[in-house]
Each structure stands twice: as structure tokens, then as C-alpha cells.
Amino acid sequence: MKPTFSVDQLSSPEVVRNPYPYYDLLRDQSPVFGYRDFPPGTMPGVDEPKPSWVVLNFDHVSAVAWDHESFSSRDSLQEESSAPSLMLVNHDRPEHTRLRKISAKAFQPASIKSLAPEVDLLVAACMDDFFVPDQPVDVMADYCAMLPSKVMAYLFGMPAEMGRDVRNWATAFMLSADISAEERQAYNIEAMAFFEQHVKERMDLIAKGKETPGPLLNAFIRTEVDGESLSYEEVVRFCMTATVAGAETTSFYLGNLITVFADFPDIWHGFVDDPKLFDPIYKETLRFHGPPQRLFRVATRDITIGNADIKRGDWVACFFGAANYDPEAFPEPYEFRLNRKNANRHMSFGYGIHRCLGAPLAQLEAESTARMLRERYTHIERAGEAVWQDVSLLNHGLANNPVVFRGRT
């Protein structure tokens, strides 16, 4: 007999550490009502989560994420909270279409690729600073925490030492650190004040025809589509959005990738022998240890999903992480397999009109990290227990990830 498990236990620390077996216990009931948890940007201790439907199966998650007309991304809880509202993620059409058109041009995969040399320099510098061969190193504490934030600081033309601030701002918004509501609020205020000032200065310089550092910020300011560009307020909010959507998710993803290398030596050695394996390893890691576990939607009309009659105004938690472990979509989901025919169908970048805009950038950071690990080291070994964060189901990632790098250098 299956152990009893109820949907209101989904946010307990034990589940957050390793949610997959618990999804399996609820999967037959999907969509099931009665989960309460915090969307990004809201404040535990201040805001009150809404009771929500939990959607776990691949088909149900796809149906909800795809049907942006029936399931709105506008989040009244966040809108009413003191947190800055985000661009795109919390917009519906038609506003989403206008913003996505302009920002997608700024984020074009080709221009992201042109960032590779600078990302490589940052990866190399972080490895030089934080990794000591043959000695245990907690890759979460420094490398994974700092690389995406340093990349973001570079993209916005911020002083390099502000990487630590970017990190703090993202962590405060994304809920995975156990910090007080007052600290969260203070970080939000600090981040918005910085971006308001910084964007203003940069727009003034650009208006005077000056060259300014920060390729992504420049693209946000300069990009025009059909004669339309982003307003000052929109550029500021895009900086905030890219910070919170891009820094922590990528930190967790890099940690999860290094965990795969440390915990599956065959995968690591296979990659050392054949660098072309990066692509399937990257995708399967997104499925196997995908950072975002769930995001919320709000039903805009009465609608039936599976056996559930969802009413207009109901909150729906779309569990991308559970879809990635649905055995109907990914047979033997607890096996890390490099030959999945549908490897690309993982849900870790979302699905539909809100699919991750920063995916090429995340891939660039992951690819550069893996390539340089391979060039520098022959072995990656576990040096202590990998501890998964247990504060929020928003992102599945490690709090501590001690490994030893051995080899070539």
C-alpha cells in the first residue's frame, strides 16, 4: 500500500529537499486542491499564500502552461506585495507580446553567443579564485553562487565587485534563503534604487552618443522593433527581472550539473573522452535536477483539467519538476539517461509563450563551466554530503555541494 501523503505537506522541508517521490504519491490525484505556498517576490511572514490546485502530470502541466488565455500569469499576491513586479513573467497578452518582441531581439541567441569570450574569462577567473585542486571545495558557496551574478553584473555594465549585490538581490526575491521579510524588503529597495540610478545614467550617456559598457543593458535601451522601444521604467524592471530570473536559477543549475559529474563518474569520464556529450548531459540534467519546481497561474475562466473542475479565479501551481518525472513522458524517470529521444521536452525552461528567454545564456554559462572543468581536471569526486536546500520548492538546488577536483593543472 502506498504511504499516505497529503497535498498540504508539499512545502515541508523534507519534500523540498527531494520532492520527486512525493509527487509520485500524488500523481494519480492530479490536479489536486489544497496546496499553499509563496510565489516569487512575495514575503513569508507578510503575505498570505492562496490555496491552489497542484498540477503534476506532464500532459496537465503542458496544458496549463500552453493555454495562456485560460491561465493568467498575473499574480495578484505579488502585485499587492511590496516587491517590484517583473517584466514578461507576470504579464499576459497583449502586453506580453509587445514586451517579448523587443526583449527577444535584445536576447537573440546570436548576440548571446557573442558574449562567449567574456563569459569564458569570468568562468576561468572564478575557477582560479575558488577551486583549489585536490582540496574539498563547496562549489555552491562561491563558484555557483557568484558566476551567474558576475555574468549579470558584466551584462549590465556594473562594477565587477557588485556581483555579490546581484547575488543578494536575486536570493532575497527567489525565496530559497531563509532570511527575514525585512531583509527581503531592504534588498528589493536597494536593487530598485540601484537600477533606477544606473539606467538613468546610461540612458543619458547613450542619448549623448557615448559608448557604454554592459551589452544586455545597452540592448534593452537601444533595441527597437516596429518603431517601438522600452521605456525607462521598463528597462529598469527588465534589469530587475533578468537579475531575479537569471542569477539564482543558473546558480542552482550549475550546482546540479557539477553534482551529476560528481555522483555519476561514468557520465563525467564519458564527457572527458567525448566533449560532444555535453549537449545530452546538459538536457538530461535539466530534466533530472531541474531548478524550477513550480510556478503559479490563475484561471481566467471555468475549465476542466483531468478530473478537476477549476473555477475562474482559482490558483493553479504548475509543477514543471513533477512533469519532468512523469513516467508516461520519461520512462524510468529516476535513471539519468543520455539517450532519451524526447530529451528536449523537459519542462525546466517552461513551455508556451513564457518559455525562458534567458535559456541560451544559461546554456552558455553551463557549457563554458563544463568545458573548463574538462580542460583542467581529470576527476571530480564527492568530498562530503550534498545537502539540498529545504526552504522553498520554487527552485530545486543544493545548499552545500562539497567536491574535490583532481587532475591536470
Give yes or no for residue 291 binding ligand HEM (CB under 6 A): yes
Stretch that binds ligand HEM, among 46-54, 128-136, 345-353, 378-386 (CB under 6 A): 345-353
323 burial class (0-12, 13-18, 19+ CB within 10 angstroms)?
A: buried
Stretch that binds ligand HEM, among 183-191, 192-200, 247-255, 370-378 (CB under 6 A): 247-255
Distance between CA atoms of residues 374 and 369, nearest Å = 9
Give yes or no for residue 324 binding ligand HEM (CB under 6 A): no
Question: In the sheet where 402-406 sits, what is the strand order?
Answer: 137-138, 402-406, 379-382
Give yes or no for residue 364 binding ligand HEM (CB under 6 A): no
What does the chain come to in residues? Answer: 409
Q: Given candidates 11, 52, 73, 401, which one binds ligand HEM under the rule CB under 6 A? A: 73
Check if the beta carbon of residue 364 is closer than 8 Å to that of residue 112.
yes
Give yes or no for residue 144 binding ligand HEM (CB under 6 A): no
Footprint on residues 378-397 left by ligand HEM (CB under 6 A):
none
Distance between CA atoms of residues 187 and 166, nearest Å = 10
State which residue, 308 or 361, has the beta carbon closest to ligand HEM: 361
Give yes or no for residue 295 binding ligand HEM (CB under 6 A): yes
In degrees and rounded to multiples of 5, residue 234 shows phi and psi of: -70, -40
Give yes or no for residue 287 binding ligand HEM (CB under 6 A): no
State which residue, 55 or 404, has the beta carbon closest to ligand HEM: 55
Q: Given candidates 241, 293, 324, 368, which one binds ligand HEM under the rule CB under 6 A? A: 241
State which residue, 26 or 155, has the beta carbon closest to ligand HEM: 155
Give yes or no for residue 249 binding ligand HEM (CB under 6 A): yes
Which residue minimizes CB distance to ligand HEM? Answer: 358
Closest CB 235 distance from ligand HEM, rounded Å: 13
Check if the beta carbon of residue 106 is closer than 8 Å to that of residue 221.
no
Distance between CA atoms of residues 250 and 88, nearest Å = 18
Stretch that binds ligand HEM, among 112-120, 163-171, 246-254, 263-271 (CB under 6 A): 246-254
Q: Given candidates 158, 357, 386, 394, which one binds ligand HEM under the rule CB under 6 A? A: 357
Amino acid occupying residue 336: F
Distance between CA atoms of residues 229 and 277, nearest Å = 40
Q: Given candidates 58, 349, 377, 405, which one binds ligand HEM under the rule CB under 6 A? A: 349
State which residue, 358 or 402, has the beta carbon closest to ligand HEM: 358
State which residue, 247 or 404, has the beta carbon closest to ligand HEM: 247
Stretch that binds ligand HEM, among 160-168, 200-208, 289-297, 334-342 (CB under 6 A): 289-297
Closest CB 223 distance from ligand HEM, rounded Å: 14
Give yes or no for residue 361 binding ligand HEM (CB under 6 A): yes
Using CB under 6 A as the binding criterion, the count of chain residues that bind ligand HEM stands at 25
Residues 25-64, mask of contacts with ligand HEM (x by CB under 6 A):
----------------------------------------
Question: In the sheet where 51-55 sits, what is the strand order?
Answer: 32-36, 51-55, 315-318, 295-299, 71-72
Give yes or no for residue 289 binding ligand HEM (CB under 6 A): no
Q: Given candidates 35, 154, 187, 253, which one binds ligand HEM under the rule CB under 6 A? A: 253
Indicate if the alpha-carbon torsion angle 222, 227, 233, 239 is positive or negative.
Answer: negative
Cβ neighbours around 214 below 10 Å, total: 18
Which residues of this protein are in contact with ligand HEM, per CB under 6 A? 65, 73, 88-89, 100, 241-242, 245-246, 249-250, 253, 291-292, 295, 320, 348-350, 354, 356-358, 361-362
